Amino acid sequence: MLDMWHNLLSGTPWQDILSAKEIPGLPPLPDGWTVETLLLVVIGVPAALLLLHFVRVILIYLYGRKYRALRALNRACEFDNGIKTRYEYKVRLNSRKQLERYDFERFFLDEYGRNPHAFGAILESASNNDKKYRRYKAEVEQLLGVKPGEAVRVRFFDPLQVKICKRHLRKPITSPVFHCTAEYTSPKGKNHYSRTADYTVKQMEGVAKQYRKNVDFQASKAYQRSLMTDSLRYDIMKRDNFRCVLCGRTAREGVKLHVDHIVPVAKGGLTVPDNLRTLCDQCNLGKSDKYDPHGAN
Ligand SMILES: [Zn+2]
């Protein structure tokens, strides 16, 4: 190989340069060395080491036990990749006062209500990813002997393989952030003001809970109203002797009788005899949904 090389160079100026025993301006070379020897050491040795490194990397990719086990683990782990790390919302307001008073909790509650299924799916994916990622991290730790995220100490045993494995760890989205910017720009765009809020998965779960509570309450209100049947209405009036319980008048005296919820349905009142009473239309007038626990009504 070297002979071929020498034949190739013979007769060219390179031959003289490579076979020189000293380099002008530099300290003398060791005994028996030529410029060629020097180049072999300076370029050839690092090149050989680099080649060796690549051979090791390729062998690890092909046969590394840990690397192959990690790839199998990665394939088996079904993280949900359909969610984003950040969800952005923007609200434009009409005055600074509105901006100062802006209720982000209310915003997220409304936003959640617009599409509870989509929000629910994001929160569920995040929490599933979180659970799966905990298990994944534990398995990786067992497999590699290092925690994901921990720096690999380069010792003699297997450090290259562990290092390569760490480049192939999976990192699912476990904690998306819901970011809302509320802003107000003064007329002619002179001044710009804004406030922001970042909601975590946990906070959004609180919003979801509140939303479900509201929905349940709406449903229960509708249900309570549906319990008010003609038959029950008759029973209550009969119990109250077909008289207004406040003024004592009857239908014969020209008033119209109603059955009234003492604690209004909208305030959580139930359609049960204890919470029902007979009122005339005049006593009932203007009372709708008002409830004073200490007053006459
Ligand atoms: Zn009355």
List pLDDT tens digits, range 137-147: 999 888 887 77
How many angstroms is it from 294 CA to the middle of ligand 1?
A: 19
Q: pLDDT per residue over 270-282, tens digit each?
A: 999 999 999 999 9
Flag whether pLDDT at 284 surpasses 80: yes
Per-residue pLDDT reduced to its tens digit, 179-233:
999 999 998 888 899 999 999 999 999 999 999 999 999 899 999 999 999 999 9
Inform me whether the pLDDT recorded for 286 exceeds 70. no
- pLDDT of res. 151: 64
252 CA to middle of ligand 1, Å? 13
12-21, 44-53, 134-143: segment of lowest average pLDDT: 12-21
What was the pLDDT predicted at 292?
53
What would the pLDDT profile of 246-270 be if each residue is shown by its tens digit? 999 999 999 999 999 999 998 889 9
Listing DSSP states for 43-97 in one string gives: IIHHHHHHHHHHHHHHHHHHH-HHHHHHHHHHHH-----S--SEEEEEEE-SSHH
256 CA to centre of ligand 1 in angstroms: 9
CA of 283 to the centre of ligand 1 (A): 4
How close is the Cα of 278 to the center of ligand 1, in Å? 8
Q: What is the DSSP pairing of strand 276-280 with strand 257-261? A: antiparallel
Q: What is the mean pLDDT of the chain?
A: 88
Q: Are strands 177-185 and 192-199 parallel, antiparallel or unpaired?
A: antiparallel
- pTM: predicted TM-score of the whole model, two decimal places: 0.65
% the chain with pLDDT above 90: 59
With the C-alpha atoms ordered 239, 245, 248, 253, is the resulting torsion angle positive or negative?
Answer: negative
Of 121 and 14, the one with more pLDDT: 121
Q: What is the 221 CA–ligand 1 centroid distance (Å)?
A: 26
Mean pLDDT of 63-85: 90
For residue 250, the CA-to-ligand 1 centroid distance in Å is 8
Whether pLDDT at 293 is above 60: no
Q: Are 207 and 109 in contact (CB under 8 A)?
A: yes
Least confident of 60-74, 195-209, 235-249: 60-74
Q: 268 CA distance to ligand 1 centroid (A)?
A: 24
Domain boundaries, the chain: 2-63, 74-219, 227-284
Ligand 1 centre to CA of 124 (Å) is 54
Q: What pLDDT score was predicted for residue 296?
A: 42
What per-residue confidence (pLDDT) applies to 134?
A: 93
The rounded Å distance from CA 225 to ligand 1 centre is 22
Q: CA of 100: how far to CAs of 94, 97, 122, in Å?
A: 11, 5, 30
Rounded Cα gap, residues 76 and 37, in angstroms:
53
Confidence bin at 295 (pLDDT 50/70/90): very low
Q: Output the CA 232–ligand 1 centroid distance in Å.
A: 20
d(CA 172, CA 22): 60
pLDDT at residue 297 is higher than 50: no
Q: How far is the CA of 258 from the centre of ligand 1 (A)?
A: 10
pLDDT in tens, 215-229: 999 899 999 999 999
What are the C-alpha distances in Å from 186 to residues 90, 93, 181? 17, 10, 16
State the sign of the Cα–Cα–Cα–Cα dihedral 10, 11, 12, 18: positive
Instruction: Quote the pLDDT of residue 287.
Output: 65
